[in-house]
Every structure is written in C-alpha cells, then in structure tokens.
A = this chain, B = another copy of it.
C-alpha cells in the first residue's frame, strides 16, 4: 500500500460537458482545488460522482485522467459498484491498470439481497480483483445495511476497510469498537458527525462538502485528531451551516449532491451538468445558493 488510508477523502464530483462527456479541463481545476485544500485522498465514481449514472466510457476516461492528474500525490479510490457483474470486474481491472490505489464496492443495487447473499457476492469479487477493496455501506441507495458480520467476513476475504454512509451512528460506533485492535480503515460518510467519529477512533471521512470547502474539512480533521475542542466547535459550526443552508435549498432526496455540483459551478470550477435523473439547480435556486455561499467565513 503506497499510503495509509486516513483523513479527508472527497467523493469527487464528475465534471461534465453539456453532452455529458467528461470535461477534462474542469477535472484538472477540481483536482487542483482539492489537492490545494489538503485532502488526503480522492474517491472517484461514488454517489456524489454520479458513478452509476455515467456512460461506461466516461467512467473509464475519468479514472485514466484523474490518475494522470493526481500523479500519486494522494491515493485514488475508485467506485466499481455495478449491478452488472462483468462491469464490476472490468472497472476493477481498468482502475488497476491506470494506477488507482483502492476499489470501493457497495452491494449491487437492483435486487434486494440478504446479508448472506452479499457475503457470497463479495467472495466472488474481493479475492479476484488486484487492488485492496473498501466495502461501502449506503443503504439509502442500495437497500442493504451491511451487518457487522458481513463486514467481518469482508475483512477475512481481504477487504481493507469500510466506508459507512449508513446514517446509523450506533452501528458505526460498534464497527469502530469491533475493529479497534486490527488493521482496518473505518471511513465515515456523515459530515456532521465527523469530529465525533474521529475522536472515537474512526480513521477518515468521505465528505461530499469537501468538494466545495476542502480546507474546512481538512482543518476539522486536524482539530478532531488533536482533540482541539475549541477549533472543533468553530469549524463544526460551518459544517452545520453547510447542512442547514446549502443542502436544504432543494427538497429532492439528492439535494446535497445537486447543491454541491451547483456550488462548484458558481465557483467556476466545473459546470453543473448532471446525468439524468439528477440535474443542477434552476436559476432561482442557484441565486439563493450564491447568496448563502457568500456568508461562509472561509
């Protein structure tokens, strides 16, 4: 492993042209924005990256170009989750070939499946792919909340960590406790609980908001691992502001994802073209977003 997996790892938004092809120029800008903010890794093709919506050629090109631009400065994580089994394997091979560092794998998200079916599924993938796998728990999209037993099985097969976007903080604390004496990265998805999770033993965060304000999240990460509670209080207040003001402009179930891409377009980093069924904000909401973004003391 080139890098230990820790820290702030933004689930990178995918910059697109109007024809939904990859916008390589904006990709460079976005990656530089994140690296300049001090992030510790970059996660491609996740939920915020609209991974499952993208054309397969765009997905591959994104991996290729991102690995080229990042050039080993931070680890690259690639989401390979797919309902098509052969597409999972193919994307894993492409990621390996282009020099990515980790694969991120959630349950295939069409059929409702049981924990034991998920374990059997992981057995067909984790030992076969060449990069270390992070299992990804995101039941709001996949319908399956991975149990502790399933995650333990994944570890036995060679998984390197878990990314928890379950929204179930009790389960996350149980995870941290269960693996506290082992080499297993616990990465949390919830921005608002970030400092809590890091103070109690979590290793990192995949925070969508770090696409907009990478430095805010990196500073909060530093404050949390240093248990600098005064800084935590100040920085966490801005994360709360992000949640309550930026992510609540729209009322769609993907309101935060849409807000983040719209914010990046207002910041001239990339356009807010999104693949259906998602879309950027309408002009009215974009105006509200613009005003609210200005109020951030960052």
A residues near B, CB below 8 A?
A: 20, 47, 52-56, 83-87, 107-114, 117-118, 120-121, 124-125, 140-141, 143, 167, 169-170, 173-174, 177, 190, 192-193, 196, 199-200, 227, 229, 233, 236, 240, 243-244, 251-254, 257, 275-279
Are B200 and A108 within 8 A (Cβ)?
A: no
Nearest chain B CB to A279 CB, angstrom units: 7
What chain B residues lie within 8 Å of A257 (beta carbons)?
111
Are A111 and B56 within 8 A (Cβ)?
A: no
Nearest chain B CB to A256 CB, angstrom units: 12
What chain B residues lie within 8 Å of A227 (beta carbons)?
229
Nearest chain B CB to A170 CB, angstrom units: 6
Are A253 and B113 within 8 A (Cβ)?
A: yes
Are B177 and A54 within 8 A (Cβ)?
A: no
Are B177 and A193 within 8 A (Cβ)?
A: no
Nearest chain B CB to A153 CB, angstrom units: 14
Are B85 and A253 within 8 A (Cβ)?
A: no
Are A114 and B253 within 8 A (Cβ)?
A: yes
A193 to B172, CA, bound (A): 11
Nearest chain B CB to A112 CB, angstrom units: 4
Are B177 and A107 within 8 A (Cβ)?
A: no
Are A111 and B244 within 8 A (Cβ)?
A: no
A199 to B232, CA, bound (A): 10
Nearest chain B CB to A280 CB, angstrom units: 12
What chain B residues lie within 8 Å of A275 (beta carbons)?
84-85
For A84, give its contact among B56, B190, B251 (CB under 8 Å).
Answer: B56
Are B120 and A52 within 8 A (Cβ)?
A: no
Are B121 and A277 within 8 A (Cβ)?
A: yes
Are B83 and A52 within 8 A (Cβ)?
A: yes
Are B229 and A85 within 8 A (Cβ)?
A: no
A243 to B108, CA, bound (A): 26
For A108, give its contact among B170, B240, B277 (CB under 8 Å).
Answer: B277
- 25 of the cross-chain contacts (CB-CB < 8 Å) are A20-B86, A53-B108, A53-B111, A54-B84, A55-B87, A56-B56, A84-B275, A109-B110, A111-B141, A112-B254, A113-B254, A114-B252, A117-B277, A120-B277, A120-B279, A124-B276, A167-B170, A170-B190, A173-B240, A174-B243, A174-B244, A177-B244, A193-B196, A199-B229, A200-B236
Nearest chain B CB to A225 CB, angstrom units: 12
> A121-B276, A240-B177 known; A56 and B196 CB under 8 Å?
no
A178, closest chain B residue (CB): B244
A229 to B226, CA, bound (A): 11
Known: A47-B111, A108-B276, A112-B141. 14 other contacts (CB 8 A): A52-B83, A52-B110, A53-B83, A53-B111, A55-B87, A85-B275, A107-B277, A111-B277, A112-B140, A114-B252, A120-B277, A121-B276, A125-B276, A196-B196
Are A85 and B55 within 8 A (Cβ)?
A: yes
